[in-house]
Structure 1
Amino acid sequence: MRAVVIHEFGEPEVLRMETVPAPEPAAGWVTIAVHAVSVNRTLDLAVRAGRYARPVRLPHVLGADPSGVVVAVGTGVNKRRVGDRVVTSPFLRAASGTQGPQLLGVQAWGGYAEFVTVPEDATYLIPSALDFPQATVVSRHAPMAFHLLDAKANLSADEWVLVMGASGGLGGVGVQVAKMIGAKVIAGAGSDERVASAMSLGADYAINYRSSDLEAEVMRITDGRGVDVVYENVSDPVLFPKALASLARGGRLVTAGSHGGGTVPLDVSRLYMKQLTIMGSTGQTPSDTERSLTAAADGFIRADIHTTLPLEACSEAHRLLEAGEVFGKIVLTITHADKYHA
């Protein structure tokens, strides 16, 4: 099969299309003919550059969220069959003979390839209303948004939420999930163009936190009360204190990201005086993914796609994302012979 392989960490030029052996499914695993896979800052760009927190063994194939058609099943598989249209979770249980759980595209070879193997319980059926790029984008971030806002923050319909980085992949779907729950949403973004993008996703109010005082604007919008929940996946040392200060008494801050650096100052006095809670989690569940796909198929969540490019253009896709002018996801697509179409 063809796959984009990296033999060394570095710039986008280290991504090279090669011919490698096609994978065979282990017991309980399935092989998928990949039709779409997205490009992500952390799980693709950071891994490629050698900046990811977990060790990555070279040579390596990136791609955390491939979707496609099941073309082979291992022994013991009973939930999936050849021809199923599926999307994958990046969280994999270990194959027989390997150690511990793996992260697709980090510890295990990922979806920048014509075929990929994953455990059957890491696959989810794609509703007929969604195509492969849509399913890939929805499954990448929406499950985490549901997990953080619903399971962790317990956001309710009568509450206010501040979504930071609201035009990004995780932020944009956070706006939509919060609106689906029924909350009043304030979107925070770093430029007027990104503010407009967040408003188009359904936010009630928006703040350019690079040109305005975030805390002051939140307090103005909420008549001095503050928000009940901050959905904060930026972790910028300048913005984080402002976001925390925007919380009302008893407020909750949830996070599963640190694109802005990750090390931030914390006002502990404010934390205990206002009885605030800070929660970090990457623990999305299968039901979060299933709920996300259903919500997208029913029209409540939109897959925000900037562009689709063929797998051969993956270096260009990485450069485009690194340039920082992208609104929505970049999706790589693969064209297969007719026998690999559902």
Structure 2
Amino acid sequence: MYAAVMHDFGGPEVIGWEMVPTPRPGPHDVLVQVHAVTVNRTLDIKVRQGAYAKRPVLPHVLGVDPSGVVVETGAEVSDFKPGDPVAVSSRIRYEPEDVPRMLGVDLWGGYAEYVCVPAASAFPLPAGLDFATASIAIRHVPQAFHMLETKAKLQPGEWVLVMGASGGLGSASVQVARHLGARVIVAAGADERVSAAMALGGEFGINYRSQDLHAEVMRITGNAGVDVVCENISDPVLFPAAFKSLRRFGRLVSVGTHGGGIVPLDVAFLYLNQLTIMGSTGQTPDDIRKGIELAASGKFRPLIGCVLPLYQVREGHVLADGNDVLGKVVLDPRARPNGAAQSLRS
């Protein structure tokens, strides 16, 4: 099979397009022909750069969120058959008691024509759900459910401020928050990004590069502040303004450090208002199922910036890393350099 293989850490040029052996499924595995996989700024670009907390063993294949069609099953697999459409969880367990390993970080991922995973890590896709949407949904919607429903315990009618609201996780969080019945304020760094997030369910929008974030939140909420801040930037200027926008007993839930990761904290404001700050990286199989159901129902609409053949992965990384597209970069491994690209779902 062809795969996008990295042999070193560095810029996009360290990824090569080359032939590697096609994996064979073990007794409990499924072999999936990948139809879509996305470019993620942390779990693809930072891993490629060698800047992620864990460095993979080289050579390595990235790709944490592949979706596609089962083409072969192991002898002990009964839940899937060839031809079944699936999306693959990034958290891989070979035994139920195992500490999960990350697809595309600890294990070769979905930047390839085929990926082999335990059947327990594959989730069936309903008819009519395209693969690009499925890959984005399984990557971001379960995380959004876990952040907002499980961690922050967001309630109907509560105010939530979603930072980076046009990004992959941010746009999923907007839609999950709206699904949970919250009143949603979207915040992003450009007018077109605010507009895109508003179209996904935001009730009010703030451009935090041209407007005073805290002042706008107070104006919108009648000086009450928000109950929950969904924060995935960790910018040293924006984080304090978002944090200051919480009302008494408010909750800030954070995952992501695109803005730097080191931020000042007003501890007096924290304890005087009995606020809670929590981190979230987890998700459960139930979160994944809810995410797929939300996408299949049409209540989750992904922001897709562009779809490229996998052999143009270097260009995809440049676009995603430079924030040059509004929405996710999706890669399709089925297209060959000398062949015509195929549709996202056949």
Instruction: Compute the TM-score of the two structures, normalised by the length of structure 1.
Output: 0.95
Task: Say how many residue pairs are matched.
Answer: 338
Distance 1:309 1:55 in 2: 26
1:48 is paired with a residue of what secondary structure?
helix
Shift of 1:334: 2.6
Tell whether the 8 Å contact from 1:26 to 1:95 is kept in structure 2 after alignment. no
DSSP 3-state at the match of 1:241 = helix
* 1:299 matched residue in structure 2: 298
Pairs within 5 Å for 1:316-335: 316-335=315-334
Distance 1:243 1:336 in 2: 43
Give the equivalent residue in structure 1 for 2:53: 53
* Kept in 2: contact 1:94–1:102 (CA 8 A): no
Does 1:160 find its partner at 2:159? yes
Q: What's the offset of the Cα at 1:55?
A: 2.2
State whether structure 2 residue 311 is matched by structure 1 residue 312: yes
Deviating beyond 3 angstroms after TM superposition, the runs of 4 or more aligned structure 1 residues are: none
**Residues 129-208 of structure 1 mapped to structure 2, 5 A cutoff:** 129-208=128-207
Q: Distance in 1 between matches of 2:32 and 2:223?
A: 52
Aligned-pair identity (%): 55
Instruction: Give the Cα–Cα distance (whole angstroms) in 2 for the partners of residues 139 and 162 of structure 1.
Output: 23
Write out per-residue CA displacement over residues 244-299 of structure 1, whole angstroms, 9 at most, x where no aligned residue.
11000000111121111111111111111101011111111111111111111111
Paired letter, 2:174: V
> Does the alignment pair 1:37 with 2:37?
yes
Paired AA for residue 275 in structure 2? L
> Which residue is 2:11 aligned to?
11
Q: What's the offset of the Cα at 1:79?
A: 1.9
Residue aligning to 2:235: 236
In structure 2, the CA distance between the partners of 1:281 and 1:161, relative to structure 1 (3 Å rule), is same
| TM-superposition CA deviations, 1:172-199 (whole Å, max 9, x none) | 1111111111111111111112111111
1:273 alignment counterpart: 272
Q: Contact 1:215/1:242 (CA < 8 Å) preserved in 2?
A: yes
CA distance in structure 1 between the partners assigned to 2:290 and 2:231 by the alignment: 22
Q: CA deviation at 1:94?
A: 3.7
CA contact (8 A) 1:95 1:119 kept: no
Counterpart Cα distance in 2 of 1:192 and 1:281: 28
Structure 2: which 5+ residue stretches go unaligned? 337-341
> How far off its partner does 1:76 sit?
2.3
**1:26: how far off?**
2.3
> Equivalents in 2 of 1:244, 1:144: separation in Å?
21
Deviations 1:207-242 (A, max 9, x none): 111111111110011000000000001111111111
Counterpart residue type for residue 330 of structure 1: V
Which range is displaced more, 49-58 or 76-85?
A: 76-85
- Matches of 1:63 and 1:33 in 2, distance apart? 13
Moved more, 243-252 or 67-76: 67-76
Does the 8 A contact of 1:190 with 1:209 survive in 2? yes
Residue equivalent to 2:21: 21
1:35 and 1:336 in contact (8 A); partners too:
no
Deviates more, 1:190-199 or 1:63-72: 190-199
Q: What letter matches 1:8 in structure 2?
A: D
Equivalent-residue separation in structure 2 for 1:124 and 1:6 (angstroms) = 28
Give me the whole-angstrom Cα distance separating, in 2, the residues matched to 1:144 and 1:255: 11
Counterpart position of 2:339: none
- TM-fit CA distance, 1:100: 4.6
Structure 1, unaligned runs of 5 or more: none
What secondary structure sits across from 2:30 in the alignment?
strand
Secondary structure of the residue aligned to 2:60 is coil
Contact 1:94/1:100 (<8 A) preserved: no
Report the Cα distance in structure 2 between the residues aligned to 1:95 and 1:174, rounded to whole angstroms: 31
Aligned equivalents of 2:75 and 2:274: distance in 1? 52
- Contact 1:27–1:95 (CA<8 Å) still a contact in 2? no
RMSD: 1.8
* Partner SS, residue 47 of structure 1: helix
Q: Give the deviation of 1:336 after TM superposition.
A: 7.6
Q: Which amino acid aligns with 1:154?
A: K
User: 2:256 maps to what in 1?
Assistant: 257
Give the deviation of 1:13 after TM superposition. 1.1
Please name the residue that 2:72 is paired with.
Answer: 72
Matched letter for residue 129 of structure 1: G
For residues 205 and 231 of structure 1, the distance between their equivalents in structure 2, rounded to whole angstroms, comes to: 15
